Structure 1
């Protein structure tokens, strides 16, 4: 490893372990690398700007704002009602409502923390009121959040598509089946846990009339993913254009249909979305400088060769990649990790003969699970803020749900058809 490469690695780890926010970790490490390499610091400004000047990244602020508008417009509450009429008569029904609602909301938000927040605020108090333990209710909402990063429109899928220069549409399709499998697994956990807690279904089966009323009331919420995703897969508009359509749809429904959003609310909603987008953009900008230095120092190739050198068994190598990504996803921001490790992972994927879409799905699913994994998962912190419980308390109730997610991850890893079935239909 070169002197510059060693300095980058040491500076990155030192700042990260020192508790410095990730965006400054990346920026400071990049500055140190540039100084040691005797590269003019003007490159810092150039790479920072160029790192955010990618057309596909325009989808991110669009999907963030669309999700915020739809949440404020009452769509999440209506989704919960539809889900409740479907499973309220089952043991563990309220837990299933949490998972189903998160799955539907995932097709609007594209973000794990946003999904946990939107559904958790509604369902955690409701589950606790009906006899569920607060730690279990919060853990379920936390574990359901990562579905928001697997089912399109997934913001991490957009990022990976840009980093790896892969089709975002194919990546979107690759996340659907794994996301649904995790949802089903979490619903099974909910049913088994409810039995263990001595809970039984308190509601009767919803009548056709009640289901029809719930669906009619929630028709605008249910139509959102159909319009956005149907337009993308139907070739009507690109993922970036779909984000703009989502904003327009959320605005019209919130202002003029449900009338739960008022013009005076818009500055607050837009500001909230701007804060989220700014954080993402800032990380992308600094990570792009760091990632450029990593690339020119050929660290990805060296790391890939090192991993391949440990074993030539593809099964073992894939297992090591998963363990590495799960660890990184639990301690580091997903977006920064994707940009930094993009070269390493694409090189490894090419060496192993992995389909690029399958590799992208693996990366995103690993990092999505990391969002709910102790000690630093973002969704875990959102759950703690909602329930006022400690991260430790939530983590104890979380392990069966994480087990389900890891089992699905292993299936996705070694059975590529799970992720490639839907994308291959486009060919």
Structure 2
């Protein structure tokens, strides 16, 4: 049964049907062929969406859209530009730091690229950076968003793997800072080798003070979010709701950029994005149920544990698997399909589920920078108006710090587990 399901799924993917259709249609056909109860089709798809943590997904998408519309990204970019823009390669360093800050409200790599990519690439190209370098650092910096809280992929992984969403979100803080640091080191090395330009911005304390005051409401958004999670006052869903309310408040009353028309546009964009995500969640739940009926998760767990009972070796095997999967499968679909299969085996072998969640998501975010299905590549190609092969060439140097980060997080569990365990 599982073999039939997987073959049908691959055939539908090869004819380039949307991923949700591939998941749902292949599952329905197998249920008919093997006389499984058809009432489950509606039951599993609806029940998959009856999840409180998943309510955070549309709310975070809406908050990111509101903040982007309010001009928050421009204020953050200009503030960070004044701090580090003067060094060689400074505008690229600004791109990395702003991605870290903005990831505190966006929760998704493609949202970061959509909100920041055009500004970052245009500024770097204007200052003399190559188009390949500008596109590469923009894509690499966007991988920070799904690791640093809030993270839509982490929330979905937590709901699938039955892990505390709050702890898993907090587990992403230190890895995100590590990725940021390694990307900045990579930019610094390339700046020396390629003599990257310096920004023409001049640091002035008075101008910096004014820009800091203007940017303070934007900077407070991730502080509010992370503070609520760490203090325990908010869960992921509550934090998402508070972030939406905060975005509406500062957009309307502080930056004065939001009006009714823009809010409606942001809401429409949120419905479009949420519909796509939750359609995949629903059909993937049905797909996973068919696999479970055929005992594939138990078989896969036994197979992995037969290969080794060493947690580190199993993590390396999973890394290879996910890096390959990330080249071909959309990240949310990959989480929903694969996480229920491999999580039991690795937790049984002693892998901390918090570490596994971060390793899982980071692998799939690296997949966004690899062909043939790397969505970041296609999005930046459109934004930068560049052929895909040049965008891929620009991404290659920045895979080095991402792979080093993945290696460190794989080999050192404390990078992921220290902070959530410290906070209890």
Of 307, 316, 319, the residue aligned with 1:319 is: 316
**Residue in 1 that maps onto 2:263:** 266
Shift of 1:118: 1.1
Separation in 2, partners of 1:342, 1:312: 19
Deviation readout 1:31-62 (Å, 9 max, x if unpaired): 12211220232221111111111111101110
- Residue 94 (structure 2) pairs with residue 111 (structure 1): no
Separation in 2, partners of 1:48, 1:98: 39
**Residue in 1 that maps onto 2:146:** 149
User: How many residues matched?
Assistant: 424
Q: Within 5 Å, which residues of 2 pair with 1:310-389?
A: 310-389=307-386
TM-score normalised per structure 2? 0.96
Change over 3 Å in CA distance of 1:202–1:28 after alignment to 2: closer
Deviates more, 1:365-374 or 1:79-88: 365-374
Of 77, 81, 85, the residue aligned with 2:82 is: 85
- Residue 204 (structure 2) pairs with residue 222 (structure 1): no
**Residue in 2 that maps onto 1:254:** 251
**Residue in 2 that maps onto 1:234:** 231
Shift of 1:182: 1.2
Q: What is the SS of the residue equivalent to 2:49?
A: coil
2:70 touches 2:258 (CA, 8 Å); kept in 1? yes
- Residue 175 (structure 2) pairs with residue 175 (structure 1): no
**Residue in 1 that maps onto 2:289:** 292
Separation in 2, partners of 1:346, 1:313: 15
**Residue in 1 that maps onto 2:207:** 210
2:127 touches 2:197 (CA, 8 Å); kept in 1? no
2:23 touches 2:283 (CA, 8 Å); kept in 1? yes
- Residue 83 (structure 2) pairs with residue 49 (structure 1): no
Separation in 2, partners of 1:374, 1:10: 22
Of 260, 273, 276, the residue aligned with 1:276 is: 273
Separation in 1, partners of 2:88, 2:99: 19
- Residue 16 (structure 2) pairs with residue 32 (structure 1): no
- Residue 201 (structure 2) pairs with residue 199 (structure 1): no
Contiguous gaps of at least 5 residues in structure 1: none
Shift of 1:202: 4.3
Separation in 1, partners of 2:201, 2:239: 39
Shift of 1:350: 2.0
1:294 touches 1:340 (CA, 8 Å); kept in 2? no
Q: What is the SS of the residue equivalent to 2:36?
A: coil
- Residue 423 (structure 2) pairs with residue 426 (structure 1): yes
Separation in 2, partners of 1:352, 1:14: 34
Deviation readout 1:70-111 (Å, 9 max, x if unpaired): 010011111111211110121110000111111111011000
- Residue 5 (structure 2) pairs with residue 8 (structure 1): yes
Of 381, 387, 399, the residue aligned with 1:390 is: 387
1:106 touches 1:115 (CA, 8 Å); kept in 2? yes
Deviates more, 1:386-395 or 1:276-285: 386-395
Deviates more, 1:144-153 or 1:30-39: 30-39
Of 397, 400, 403, the residue aligned with 2:400 is: 403
2:166 touches 2:229 (CA, 8 Å); kept in 1? yes
2:314 touches 2:346 (CA, 8 Å); kept in 1? no
